[in-house]
Amino acid sequence: MIATIEYNSRKLKIDLEQPLDISISIKDGKSNVNAWYIGPPKIEPEVFDDDVISVENGASVNFNTITFNPHSHGTHTETVGHIVKEKYSINKYLKRFFFLAEVVTVAPEKRDMDNVISAKQLQFALGNKKRDALVVRTIPNTNDKITKQYSNTNWTYFEEDAIRLLVKKGIKHLLVDLPSIDKEEDGGELKGHNAFWNTNGKIRKDATITEFIYVSNKIEDGSYFLNLQIASFENDATPSKPVLYKILE
């Protein structure tokens, strides 16, 4: 089904039957992707008076309780409420869900013992394009990103200048295939997060960061229409399901 959408005075054609899901789902057990030094998520049936409430065990329904942390256990979208005292719920401050997005692939640069994404790289990848959202795929890009245990790995991160460049370019929604845009151990400075949300000035309350995505190698760099789907949690972050649609010529 081909849909024509008028977006910012521009008509875009997309094929609704060809969604490109770039989320990582949450599943029970240790093979689930993980970061931030906590155990895996749990999805297990409730037990009442020693009765396990699952069809397999004789109940009429399956009745699972899910225990997880959105920041640690899969694709999630967060607001500035993640790093400030005030409560900014993702469910209240993300009001739109469709955006013009650019997918770029970046090979991190070495900085001593670190791997970083620099402003120069993003400027080269994005050029003068005006986009609401930026989807960053880092390389190497292998399937182990879906199950990787990131704690104590000193993952790739964005330099502060790189994030400031994106803000200057008007990027409101940043999606990355990393546990965080910041260095794993940075003494709590969170330079990238603070720069993205402009916490020292007028806070960008409607801007979001989505982490732990996975962009298949089958998805080419270029322009897409993004549907940023979230679960309705009143929290600084929620599990999310970003879906891309190729813009047809």
- Give the residue extent of every domain in the chain: 2-24+71-246
Q: What percent helix, strand, coil does the chain show, rounded to 5? A: 15, 35, 50
Closest Cα to residue 195, out of 209, 215, 184?
209
Average pLDDT over residues 187-214: 97
Mean predicted lDDT score pLDDT of the chain: 96
User: Cα(55)–Cα(34) distance, rounded to whole angstroms?
Assistant: 29
User: Cα(228)–Cα(222) distance, rounded to whole angstroms?
Assistant: 17
String of b and e for 215-237 (b: at least 16 CB within 10 Å)? Answer: beeebeeeebbbbbebeeeebbb
Confidence check: pLDDT of 249 > 70: no
Question: What is 76-122 written as a DSSP string?
Answer: EEE-GGGTSSS---HHHH----EEEEEEEEE-PEEETTEEEE-HHHH
DSSP state of 230: E
Average pLDDT over residues 91-113: 97
Q: What does each C-alpha distance from 139 to 77, 96, 115, 243 come to in angstroms?
A: 22, 30, 11, 20
| Cβ atoms of 63 and 57 closer than 8 Å | no
For 38-89, how does the pLDDT look when each residue is reduced to its tens digit (9 = 90+)?
Answer: 999 999 999 999 999 999 999 999 999 999 999 999 999 999 999 999 999 9
Closest Cα to residue 1, out of 13, 15, 11?
15
For 1-37, how does the pLDDT look when each residue is reduced to its tens digit (9 = 90+)?
Answer: 888 888 888 888 999 999 999 999 999 999 999 999 9
User: Cα(132)–Cα(68) distance, rounded to whole angstroms?
Assistant: 30
In this structure, whether the domain defined by 2-24+71-246 belongs to CATH 3.20.20.70 is answered with: no
Residue with tokens 């008028």: 6
Tokens (6 digits) for 230: 């979230």
For 106-146, how does the pLDDT look when each residue is reduced to its tens digit (9 = 90+)?
Answer: 999 999 999 999 999 999 999 999 999 999 999 999 999 99
For 201-241, how does the pLDDT look when each residue is reduced to its tens digit (9 = 90+)?
Answer: 999 999 999 999 999 999 999 999 999 999 999 999 999 99
Q: Which helix (H) or strand (E) holds 26?
A: none
pLDDT, residue 9, reads: 80
pLDDT, residue 175, reads: 99
For 149-175, how does the pLDDT look when each residue is reduced to its tens digit (9 = 90+)?
Answer: 999 999 999 999 999 999 999 999 999
The model's pTM: 0.96
| Cβ atoms of 164 and 119 closer than 8 Å | yes
Closest Cα to residue 181, out of 217, 144, 155?
155
User: Cα(165)–Cα(192) distance, rounded to whole angstroms?
Assistant: 11
| Cβ atoms of 121 and 88 closer than 8 Å | no
